[in-house]
Amino acid sequence: MKNRLLIHLISLTVGTISIYLIMKLESEFLGIKNQLTEKEFSELEHFAISNLFIIGLFFVFVSLIQFLIILPTFNLFSQKNKLTTQKVIIIGIVLTIVFGTFFGLFFTSKELGVVDLLESIGFGLLVFAIFYTTNFFTFIKLSSDSQKSRIN
């Protein structure tokens, strides 16, 4: 059980790091700074939230999901010897759709209309798809390595 918790923590951390790297790339190439003049950017700079704070909140949020939803679900399937890669993928797809849509609905600006809502939901789906793909790929890889080491 301790080994399983460690595997979940490592996969959670790898998924969060992948989102942080994407945030850094996005802010470097497509960030708001490119759309504003230097004067406008300097006026808004004191309202900016650091990427590390945002990724910290993301880590706390997905940690709660990981340990309150995913870990019990995986343990339930594991006890019945029915945790397969296909079920892990289905769980990831469902979580991506649910939390990506929630993310989009929560962070959309109602004043900007339906287009902003669709963009926000699309961005949320992208973020959670990348996160869960990385997270679950790491989980599957570490779990299979762990199983091999127990057999040998």
38-65 per-position pLDDT tens digit: 665 565 566 566 767 878 888 888 888 8
Asked if residue 81 has pLDDT above 90, the reply is no
pTM above threshold 0.75: no
Range of the domain at 126: 2-151
What's the number of domains the chain is made of?
A: 1
Q: For all residues of the chain together, what is the average pLDDT? A: 78
Token digits of residue 6: 């460690």
Residue 14 contacts residue 135 (beta carbons within 8 Å): yes
> Mean of the pLDDT values across residues 127-144?
85
For tokens 């979580």, the residue is 95
Cα dihedral 74, 79, 82, 85 sign: positive
